[in-house]
Amino acid sequence: MPEARRNSTVPDARSAAPDEPAAPDGPGSPEVGSGLLCELDEDGERRGRPVPADDLVAAIAERELAGHVRWVWQAAVGLYPALARAGARVARCHDVALAEALLRARDGADPAADDASAQQPRLRPAGQPTLFEPDLFEPTQPGPRREPSQMLDALIEAHADQLRRIAADPDPVRFALLVAAESAGALASAEMSLTGLPWRSDVHDALLTEQLGPRPAGAAARPPKLAELARQISAAFGAGGDGGPGRHRARAATPVNPDSPAQLLKAFAADGIRLSSTRLAVLRDVDHPAVAPLLEYKELARLHSAFGWSWLDAWVSGGRFRPEYVVGGVVSGRWASRGGGALQIPRLLRRAVVAEPGWVLVVADAAQLEPRVLAALAGDRAFATAAAAGDLYAELAGAFGGDRAKAKVALLSAMYGGAGGEAGQLLAVLRRRFPAAAGYVEAAARAGEEGRVVRSVLGRTCPPPTAAWRALTADAVGPATRARGRFTRNFVVQASAADWALVMLVSLRARLWQIKSQNGPSELVFFQHDEVVVHCPAEAAGAVSAALTVAAEEATRLVFGPTQVAFPLHVAVVGCYADAK
């Protein structure tokens, strides 16, 4: 990516959160207001004096139009959503908060350590910010709120310090790419939250009614289907049954609350069945007439509680679902979401994700991403040749007597640490046929067991072991040691896959801006792990599909360099998300 001129910016004291709008006759956007801008050299040093901007939105938009620029700010989550709502979209930024998290992890900082003793930085997060909080940082020493000029000085100092620390990385080019991609990801996440995923409330309501019955009048009331299943569960316990002590006699039906594990365990025990828990894995092996309705109840109750009518009221407005994404919310670099369950949309409810008239959804997911990442990381020639084919598991099946299912078990065991029973035997075959691939993840596992940290391909570092772990493993190898080995074994693959997916996403974001359509710009509306969804005018679908392919190719080149491994995308152009697979 070509380097851009840098500008640091902070909103001044007149910037306000939505509940504290600027005066109606004040300058600029009511949310953003005014601020300070300062142009920086490539090393982060000032190129001139700070310039006040009475209308920060207009000033940012003007500089974006003038040419390549990379904005330096405290955190995109604190400023960019308001800028985007006001119409100021930016291409690049350096997010000091996200960069600091990456640097601290690389430098071995304990996430649980007190901020006062943590390594660096000049600024620190001021607790858990709200999405549109204007001042995300506060001084490390308590005191009155700083003036905008002081905040700008601290921001410039922190940024310059970060550039020096990035340059000192063992692989500064890759780590700089990680910081740039993480920062651009914050821009994409804010835009996706603002745009929202097209969502048909009427379809959602119909699906819920089909599964649960009509919406109950009270928020605490069970839908009809759940109420009937609850009745069947209580009746099944009251009816008794065959197969165990105490189950031969009928008892008076006593209502059993299927949402109460304690009541369920007590009811099963009364029928002679003692269970360790009421988890699905335990219940499936139990012979009792209450089990079938209870399993159905649990499935439907999960739908009702996580994505029922209350969810619909809270999260869908104006025909869009607008989740709050958390960039790098998982230690591996995968995104998370704050409320709304954006990354766990049930397959059933994908039927409610419908493109607007004249528009389509372009849905792309990377096929067998993590195994392909392992092939690229390990540089195993035979494994890379297999990964170049369309179906990696089918290509590996030759090493397992032509059995694709066994090839999949062996490969997943290598990445996730399963070694018992048949998985162990299959893993031994994988080691013989593809020694470099197996050796790569096993070296990562040994590092974890020894208390060392491992890194993704771009340099994202796993958390260091805690003091409690070190105390527990000081004298002997045990379950805790092996558990950390399994974690680091998977981390190098999953975090590297997250690197690739993030770079692909931000490359796609840049390319979507270049696609012109008379019906409006293409919208990046959803991203999870290895899948991305674009909402675009129907006539732009071909251009969007091509942009996805090019973005995947660029991510492969930037993240892994020259490699035989292909990272194919499965691309579907559909009117409804459920039709993509």
Round to the nearest angstrom and report the end-to-end CA distance of the chain. 33
| Rounded Cα distance, 40 and 206, in Å | 55
Higher local confidence (pLDDT), 53 or 116: 53
Mean pLDDT for 381-401 is 78
Q: HSE of 301 in the Cβ direction (CA atoms, 13 Å)?
A: 18
Q: Which of 190-204, 244-258, 370-384, 440-454 has the highest mean pLDDT?
A: 190-204
Tokens found for residue 223: 């839908």
pLDDT of residue 1: 33
Pick from 118, 550, 533, 558: nearest CA to 361:
533
| Tens digit of each residue's pLDDT (9 = 90 or more) over 409-445 | 887 777 877 666 666 777 777 788 888 888 999 999 9
Q: What is the pLDDT of residues 109-145, one digit of tens each?
A: 755 443 333 333 333 333 333 222 334 344 344 555 6
Where in the sequence of the chain do the CATH 1.10.150 domains occur?
370-492
For the segment 482-499, the average pLDDT, to the nearest whole number, is: 93
Q: Which pLDDT belongs to residue 305?
A: 93
Percent share of the chain, pLDDT over 70: 85
> Does residue 567 surpass a pLDDT of 70?
yes
Which tokens in the block code for residue 420?
């018992």
Alpha-carbon distance 277 to 107, whole Å? Answer: 41
Q: Which residue has the higher pLDDT, 468 or 476?
A: 468
pLDDT tens-digit readout, 210-249: 999 999 987 778 999 999 999 999 999 975 444 344 444 4
Average the pLDDT over 338-346 and give the result: 86
Taking a C-beta distance cutoff of 8 angstroms, is the pair 414, 438 a contact?
Answer: yes
- Residue 61 CB-density burial (10 A; 0-12 exposed, 13-18 middle, 19+ buried): middle
Please give the mean pLDDT across all residues of the chain: 84
Phi then psi dihedrals of residue 231, to 5 deg = -65, -40
Q: Which residues of 189-216 are buried (b: 16+ CB within 10 A; e: fewer)?
A: bbbbbbbbbbbbbeebeebbeebbbeeb
In the predicted model, is pLDDT for residue 534 greater than 60? yes
Q: Is the dihedral of CA 387, 391, 392, 398 positive or negative?
A: negative
DSSP assignment letter at 298: H
Beta strands in 328-370 (DSSP E): 336-337, 359-366
Q: Is the pLDDT of residue 405 over 90?
A: no
Q: Is the pLDDT of residue 333 over 70?
A: yes
DSSP 8-state class, residue 7: E
Q: Where in the chain is the domain with CATH 1.20.1060?
A: 201-311
Q: Among candidates 440, 449, 388, which has minimal Cα distance to 411?
A: 440
Instruction: Identify the CA nearest to 100 among candidates 146, 140, 52.
Output: 140
- The reported pLDDT for the residue numbered 470 is 85
CB 134 within 8 A of CB 16: yes
- SS3 for 94? strand
Q: Does CATH number 1.10.150 belong to domain 370-492?
A: yes
Predicted pLDDT at 107: 93
Residue 457 clears pLDDT 70, i.e. is over it: yes
CATH 3.30.70.370 residue ranges for the chain: 323-368+498-580
- Residues 233 and 256: beta-carbon distance below 8 Å: yes
β-bridge mates for residue 523, sequence order? 535
Nearest C-alpha neighbor of 453 from the set 168, 179, 100, 111: 111
Q: Give the pair of three-digit tokens for residue 407.
A: 């090839």
Find out whether 370 and 497 touch, Cβ atoms under 8 Å: yes
**In the chain, which residues fall in CATH 3.30.420?**
5-194
Q: Of 53-57, 320-324, 473-477, give the lowest mean pLDDT range.
A: 473-477
The CATH architecture to which 323-368+498-580 belongs is 2-Layer Sandwich (3.30)
Q: Which CATH class is domain 201-311?
A: mainly alpha
**Highest mean pLDDT, choosing among 340-349, 415-424, 535-544, 557-566:** 535-544
- pLDDT grade for 535, boundaries at 50, 70 and 90: very high
pLDDT of residue 220: 77
Report pLDDT digits (tens) over 77-101: 989 999 999 988 999 999 999 999 9
Residues 28, 377: Cα–Cα separation, whole Å: 49
Q: Does residue 531 contact residue 502 with C-beta atoms inside 8 Å? A: no
Token pair 């109460």: residue:
260
Q: pLDDT category, 173, cuts 50, 70, 90?
A: very high
Residue 306 has pLDDT above 70, yes or no: yes
pLDDT digit string, tens, across residues 504-531: 999 999 999 899 888 889 999 999 989 9
Q: Which CATH architecture has domain 5-194?
A: 2-Layer Sandwich (3.30)
| CB-count burial class (<10 Å; 0-12, 13-18, 19+) for 64 | middle
Helix (H) or strand (E) holding 383: helix 381-387
CA distance 3 to 176: 11
Strands 523-528 and 336-337: unpaired
Query: For the chain, what is the total number of helices (H) and then of strands (E)?
Result: 20, 16
